[in-house]
Amino acid sequence: MTFEELNLHENIMKAVRKKGFERPTAIQKRCIPEIRAGRDVVGQSLTGSGKTAAFGLPIIEKIQPGKGIQALILTPTRELANQVHETIGHFSSFTHVNVTSVYGGVSIGPQINALRRSDIVVATPGRMLDHIERNTINLKSVKFLVIDEADKMFEMGFIEDVEEIIRALPKERQTLLFSATIPSDVNHLIKRYLKNPIFIKEQLQVDSSLLKQVYYDVKQFEKFSLLVHLLKKKTPGLAIVFCGTRREVDFIAKNLRAQGIHVLPVHGGLSQNKRDNAVDSLKRENIQVLVATDVAARGLDISNISHIYNYDSPKTSTEYTHRIGRTARAGKSGEAVTILAERDHTNFRNVMSDRSLNIKREEVPQFERIQTIREEPRHGDRRPRKQFGNNNSYNSHGHSGGNFHKRRMYSLGGR
């Protein structure tokens, strides 16, 4: 099937052609006709499957510009809200549909002004509730509600916020929910708020023909040195490095920069402007590497990501799959690399219990041991403290031989 065969409005098809799309993905092919027919839909698919277009195209087609806010799309993160806004904005570029995104971390004033002219709103739950409580948004004309990445939404603790938002919407509406998994919280929402939904479940496995998946098992003090080696010697394109904590993101980004690698961090502790700048810099290829917590695992649509590096192992196969879904997209090949140390083994065993994943152990190459610096004052000393990634500085557990504080040396890997 081609997009032409879906018989979408010509102004929408102009944007589809401009994007270079010819054939809909599996989730698009199945969802678009059902949404156009007015059905509530539950779509289960992974990151990178094209679900934004799956709900966005038929919604744009039914919007009457200038008639108030007619579609509300809820996303769990600011990054995803921006991404959905950008995608919907592109597909509506030959129409008069006005799209606005609202999320926290930025001034609310410009959002209030933009909402007065909006037809479609993409929002995070917290900021949407702010507007509802301030009475700065009119939801009386909403005909479509989309709950995107529902499992992540509830994992982040937004279930009560989402339900409060739903109660503020007209009861007569079309509700669309998309999620990689359907845990009990998501199932509760489906049963309570969707009307006779059709369930569309698409391929939930990684295409092994496009994505090579490997892991290395090293000592804790070797992880950073191996990462630098792989980035410099075996990463021809752009890369995202995933870490388990904000502190580790900052540490890895700082030390990669010291090794001459163009890198920026992304995590929830940074201002929205800094997060946007980091993502835009990678898109424009002004930097080579983005170092991120899982806040970036969903919603980032960046071309030419050749490698994903798990510096800290994700805890589940679902988290793993969402991370690696940033590469091997649109028919391109990619590689997902997990760098393990002893402390990662329990989490990685959970990932490997998913038999659909084909992750192979790779022989550790020869690599240079690299000195790292962590800014950490101790006993009144506010100077940067050096840590050395070589076998002379650590015992077999990754602790120092007495020169440094053991507890902090153990956290070199990032929890």
C-alpha closest to that of 370 among 282, 252, 207: 252
DSSP 279-319: HHHHHTTSSSEEEE-GGGSSS---TTEEEEEESS--SSHHH
3-class SS shares of the chain: helix, strand, coil, % to 5:
40, 20, 40
Kindly list the structural domains of the chain, giving each domain's residue range(s) and its CATH number in brackets, ordered by start. 4-201 (3.40.50.300), 211-413 (3.40.50.300)
- CA–CA–CA angle 138, 141, 144 (5° rounding): 110
Can you give the pLDDT of all 415 residues of the chain as single tens digits?
A: 899 999 999 999 999 999 888 899 889 999 999 999 999 999 998 666 789 999 999 999 999 999 999 999 999 988 889 989 999 999 999 999 999 999 998 899 999 999 999 999 999 999 999 999 999 999 999 999 999 999 889 888 998 999 999 999 999 999 999 988 888 889 999 999 999 999 998 865 556 678 899 999 999 999 999 999 999 999 998 999 999 999 999 999 999 999 999 999 999 888 878 888 998 899 899 999 999 998 765 666 677 889 999 999 999 988 898 888 778 765 678 999 999 999 999 999 999 999 888 999 999 999 999 988 865 444 443 444 444 444 333 333 333 333 323 323 323 333 3
Q: What is the DSSP string of 318-355?
A: HHHHHHHTTSS-TT--EEEEEEE-GGGHHHHHHHHT-T
pTM of the entire structure?
0.73
